[in-house]
Structure 1
Amino acid sequence: MPELPEVEVTRLSFADRIAGARVLSARIGKPLRWALGCDPQELTGRQVLRVGRRGKYLLVELDDGLLLVHLGMSGSLAFADTLPPAGPHDHFELVTDRGVLRLHDPRRFGAVVFAPDQASAEAQKLLGHLGVEPLSEDFDPMRFYAGLHVRNAAIKQVLLAGDVVVGVGNIYCSEALFGAGIRPTMKAAKISRPRAERLWRAIREVLARAVEAGGSTLRDFQSAEGKGGYFQLQAMVYGREGLPCHVCATPIRAIRQGQRSTFFCPHCQKS
């Protein structure tokens, strides 16, 4: 699944090029996770002002309204002057005077939803429950510690829930917890203030490095320019079950938490 770094890499790969574009037409293919919420032809004539991001949602801001784009489990965006004819897995297309924006999503868990603005009920239904952005100045270590201190679930599950801090997906949870020396099964409420600050710092560092590396391409992720990421080549624990830890040479272990794979070093992450 594309996680926050992949979504941010996607945004960076086309945001400047589509800003200022005028919509010429829009097309919907097979139904996605949620309905668009308007007749696609109503988008014709509107101008793209900018492309932002909230968690794993891309926010295509128009001069009249907003498109919330989610890549789901297997989605990717392409933006180019021209694209080949749409195939069976191309489910949304925005044709502009600066290029064509297309959502490709084989599993159809992604979505494109129209909302009047970010404060509207349509947008808040998707965005209102999200926690603080981890790469923003609003991600404060003391507030982060306070959020963890009242949660009795395992720290990995708390991070994945996205209501304390948003967008720290499965890959980057494992990597950040390793960087902070915290075992994924530890109760969030038992993490001390100094260790919470180490985790806060590790989350920011891991996500920033992932964005710089173009995200992680484990299967078919690519940016809107068709480029893959290579953060997976830098991973310390994720996907390395049985291989020696880069720090202490202890074999990396894998467990299941909430039906997701978790990787950790039993020596470097003792508690």
Structure 2
Amino acid sequence: MSFRAALLAPFDRVHHLDPYVFEAMRREHPRSSRRWSLVPDPVVPPPAVSKPEARRALALPNGGRVIACVGVMDVRKGVDRLLRAFAQARLGEDDRLLLAGPHDRAVRSVRDELFGRGGGRRVVSLDEFVEEAVLEHSVQAADLVCAPYPRHMGSASVVLRAAAAERPVLGSEFGWIGRTISDFDLGWTSDVERPAELARALELALTQAPDWRLGPSGRRFVEFHSEVSYQKRWTSLVRERLGMPPEEELTWDWVRRG
């Protein structure tokens, strides 16, 4: 929906998923700001599992460092670029790239070309639909989570998953991913369209990952995107219509400023 369409829409609330669009609407049309609502993108914090436990659950070696990419593995998400960057990066022989989720043909082709059929010993391919527990373990097993989506404007659940699991992210510097990682200190960004630059970013991020911690702004970001926050947002107008007192909600201003 365009800004103009949102202004003219005959609705009491216009819900947004993108906080940066939401901020722009409030900034450019302050008199209508009460109509704009930012809806959390809910993520459930995974059960408390240590990195060694998560690796055992996935039959991964405990030694070496792991870069994880989870979800559908396709060119649109830049997984081919990630494979090429991982091949170029100066990393240890025991460092691995974990791809958890169904691969498209192009990703399989690049993987096999660079690392041998099936990914050899350095690329762990879970090339199938994976259950929620496997996605959670894949993030928890990682030293670094990667979101190399080129030219991607919208949100990415992998960034939310990583933050909820307190794992740093290396992502595209573009769009929601780049701004969110930078704004809430969730990790590092790179020009993912340049494999050599992405390779250097992988080296640097893996070196810095042991010292990274989820900070106060990141914790507010995770709390805003909780299930409870999501439920309160969707029921707020219902409570208002029924004459019920409002529940205390987490606001985006609170996320931004604390």
Q: Which has the higher strand share?
A: 1
Q: Which has the higher helix share?
A: 2
